[in-house]
Amino acid sequence: MQRRYRIGTRGSKLALIQANEVARRIALASHAPVEEVTEIVVISTAGDRVQDRALSEIGGKGLFTQEIEEQLADARIDVAVHSMKDMPTLLPDGLIIDCLLERADPRDAFISLTAGSLAELSAGARVGTSSLRRAAQLRARRPDLEVVPFRGNVDTRLRKLGEGVADATFLAVAGLTRMGLAGKITAPLSPEDMLPAVAQGAIGVERRAADDEAAHLLAKLHHEETGLRVAAERACLAVLDGSCRTPIAALAEITGERMRLRAMILTPDGREIHETEREGLAADATAMGEDAGGELKGRAGPDFFDTV
């Protein structure tokens, strides 16, 4: 009898789109109708329930994963689908992510109803974001702009923008594209203008480490290049012990067998920035990430993260 996989996910529109894409691919790999081999299980997380405060004030990235991972560990679901940029670097004992779908565009999108680009925003304009990474890079490049808090799902943030709560905002290109909202993008931001979040644009599928049957199936879904890029970025993040309280950005890109990794840490006010870059064999992704993270940590000094 064909196994039916219970797929745990957050309940946002984007999360459901991502979970259903994983379900579709599981069905293809199983050579069976999607409704026969998958079931979507929506799980409410603290990060979704608390919308009036910044994530950095209430606990960081784990707020989007804890309840889902608890159900995975207890075998109430079989796999969990996550946006990898939301994942802490340390996973609970007994859980593993070794399946990543092909990464979408990792860039940030600039969205405004009044300006055609970030450079065109007038001094004093309000930019809405709840991301310390985006806010810190914005303050470093445009200290003349005002940053205002902006939480909520994609639709909520676009609605707030339309209501004039802010003059501009940033969202991930990948999320907007998956939701069919690429037309809302005023301009994509190059990594030189806004280095993306670690693993932005990548979808990961988490499973129990001891579930060999799921491991065999998910191996068919895994995209190797994405795995290497995400490994480099997350290795850098792990060395820095980063969380939502720390503005950290990284992007790994692969051409042929070679990888280029750029990484950055900032103070939230954008006044202190440390950047580094690595180039090498993509097969050495994890070592490159760890080396880059170690350099940034050494250059920033022992008090940098305490100050943050």
What pLDDT was estimated at residue 51? Answer: 53
Rounded to 5°, the CA angle 182-185-189 comes to: 115
Q: Is the pLDDT at 30 greater than 80, yes or no?
A: yes
Question: Do the domains 108-188 and 1-101+202-222 match in fold?
Answer: yes
| Range 112-138 average pLDDT | 96
What pLDDT was estimated at residue 48? Answer: 66
Q: What is the DSSP string of 102-161?
A: PP----EEEEESS-SSGGGSPTT-EEE---HHHHHHHHHH-TTSEEE---S-HHHHHHHH
CATH topology of domain 108-188: D-Maltodextrin-Binding Protein; domain 2 (3.40.190)
SS3 179: coil
Rounded CA gap, 74 and 90, in Å?
18
Length of the chain: 308
* Reported confidence tier of residue 152, pLDDT bands at 50, 70, 90: confident
DSSP 8-state assignment for residue 4: -
| Range 97-124 average pLDDT | 97
Q: Which CATH architecture has domain 223-308?
A: 2-Layer Sandwich (3.30)
pTM, two decimals, is: 0.92
Average pLDDT score, the chain = 92
Quick one: 1-101+202-222 is in which CATH superfamily? Periplasmic binding protein-like II (3.40.190.10)
SS3 261: strand
Q: Is the pLDDT at 299 greater than 80, yes or no?
A: yes
* Reported confidence tier of residue 63, pLDDT bands at 50, 70, 90: confident
Q: Which of 48, 74, 78, 86 is catalytic?
A: 86
Residue listed under structure tokens 């004093």: 124
Half-sphere exposure of 95 (CA within 13 A, CB side): 25
**Higher-scoring residue by pLDDT: 151, 217:** 217
All structural domains of the chain with their residue ranges: 1-101+202-222, 108-188, 223-308
- Catalytic, 86? Answer yes
| Range 162-171 average pLDDT | 95
Rounded CA gap, 201 and 256, in Å?
21
| Range 33-61 average pLDDT | 74
